[in-house]
Amino acid sequence: MAKRPAKSAPAPGLTYADAGVDLATYDALIAGIGSMVRRTHGPRVIHNPGGFAGLFRLDFNQKLFQRNYTDPVLVACCDGVGTKLKLASQMGRYDTVGIDLVAMSVNDLIVQGAEPLFFLDYIAVPKVVPEQLNALVRGVAEACLASGCSLIGGETAEMPDIYDKNEFDMAGFAVGVVELKKAIDPLRVAPGDVVLGLASDGLHSNGFSLVRKIVKTRKLKLDSIRSDLDPDRTLGEVLLTPTRLYAEPIVRLLRSYRVKKVISGMAHITGGGLAQNLERVLNDRTDAVLRRKAWEVPPVFRFLQEQGKIEQHEMDRVFNMGIGYVLIVRPAFAEAVARRLSRSGETVYTLGEIRAGSGKVRLLSR
């Protein structure tokens, strides 16, 4: 009697891991970053284990907090890091761009006179690599701590069909609060006001498509030391210097003037440069007249300009050129404000003044 052929075992079913998404690695990562996130929590964060969203107390207990709001207005913004992420990936350095992510949103938020409350992040990767994700989230958490806001949630998306190997993206979302009568209003800007600038820490997070084009065209080595830039860091490390966080000194400054409205306007200097961003906070009856020689331009900008043979007007509209944040201040308080910010660790320049005009920024060469 002929034997029946043995039945072969059924082929195992496909899994999510077969499609490129490893849930076990993802779950382990989420469990591991919890301590970093909790370090940013203050008493306004409501413990919500297993929750699908973060809880944050806005109408808080006066006994618990030093201040309260009569007419609180929420302020919200979101941003990313741009193609600076490409440079970070190329260098395999992920410990700074999380700081950039927080700074790009929180620095925008405080322009309205707001206090940062909480932050959420979104990170998209082709594959969860715990060391990479830990470095990214660690940077976000450190920047939240430095800015006085709580990291109350986020999302890590593993999408192998969307992102190629070594590619990733990040987005950040910040929410703050301001007392309505203290919100910054461009209509308050008036002739005679003084324009103060706070030094940047370099390129921050704008213009990196042009930066990467210069690096590629000129065949610059990211791992080389450029003594004309920094004798202790490589070119790549200089370029990856994170965006400066201005929240703590600005919020402290605003709290010190609870009654007097000494700040007429503020601007975070990002894409578009000094002129374009400052014009956003002028009204149509005023101009800002600034002097180029009033501040020191960091060497990295001159280096990139020379390497790329870039015209000055192009540099001015792409990069911050050494000024990361601007305040327009009533003239009687300008010196006091500058002293307070200097004591907070900021390098402060008197850039110029406000004159009657039509809402433009004029950069004088002298």
pTM for the model: 0.88
When pLDDT is averaged across residues 88-104 and rounded to a whole number, the result is: 96
Which pair of structure tokens corresponds to residue 294?
Answer: 């009033």
Tell me the one-letter amino acid at 151. L
CB-based contact 118:101 (threshold 8 Å): no
CB-based contact 126:159 (threshold 8 Å): yes
When pLDDT is averaged across residues 186-194 and rounded to a whole number, the result is: 96
**Residue 351, CB-side half-sphere exposure with 13 Å CA sphere:** 30
CATH 3.30.1330.10 fits 19-44+71-182, yes or no: yes
Which residues are CB-neighbours of 220 under 8 A, at least 6 positions away? 214, 235, 307
Classify domain 186-364 at the CATH class level.
Answer: alpha beta
pLDDT digits (tens, 9 = 90+) for 225-277: 998 899 999 999 999 999 999 999 999 999 999 888 999 999 999 999 999 99
What is the DSSP secondary-structure string of 49-64? TT-SS-EE-SS--TTT
pLDDT digits (tens, 9 = 90+) for 322-343: 999 999 999 999 999 999 999 9
* Domain definitions of the chain by residue range: 19-44+71-182, 186-364
| Position with higher pLDDT, 65 vs 270 | 270
- pLDDT of 304 strictly over 60: yes
| Backbone phi, psi, residue 154, to 5° | 175, 180
186-364 shares the fold of 19-44+71-182: no
Q: Per-residue confidence at 96, pLDDT binned at 50, 70, 90?
A: very high
Tell which phi-psi region holds residue 202, choosing left (phi > 0), alpha (psi between -120 and 50) or beta: left
Burial class for 178, CB neighbours closer than 10 Å (0-12, 13-18, 19+): buried
